[in-house]
Structure 1
Amino acid sequence: MLTELFERAAFRAGWRAARAGVPFHENLLRGALACFARQWGRGWAAANDCPRPYSFYDWEQGICATSAEPYRDAA
């Protein structure tokens, strides 16, 4: 399962770069592989363009820009 997600995300990163006209070998820090690594570092949902509902822990880690106080009060 994880291997399939990884392969799909890598393919999508290369596909996006090819559509943008960026040669994959041009710049290692800004190319398709670097973009993929950044997306994969954010999690499989971001790398695979899957919408993921934010959880309370996302606010604790600073992923969401909005405040978590209303959600703490509701809980």
Structure 2
Amino acid sequence: MSIDAQQISGLLQEALPGCQVAVEGGAGKFQVTVIGEIFTDLGAVKRQQLIYQHLNSHIQSGAVHAVSMRLLTPAEAGQL
């Protein structure tokens, strides 16, 4: 079973309403950028765990085997 960047983007947009989601990549390797208030008061590990909980079934199936993440609040994104 394979999954593409558009499918991951849709899955995360549904799971994280109000967030800006961008996903790039393919062949099991993806770069995920999510910007949202949901990350306020969460450290880096908790932010990643939040994303992984929505991708876990795809990771376990082998469809996703590498994910790099940029997970920011809107204030953090504005500082870039």
If the length of structure 2 is used for normalisation, what is the TM-score?
A: 0.30
Q: Looking at CA atoms only, which structure, 1 or 2, has the larger radius of gyration?
A: 1
If the length of structure 1 is used for normalisation, what is the TM-score?
A: 0.32
Larger RCO (alpha carbons 8 Å, 6+ apart): 2
Q: Which has the higher strand share?
A: 2
Q: Which has the higher helix share?
A: 1
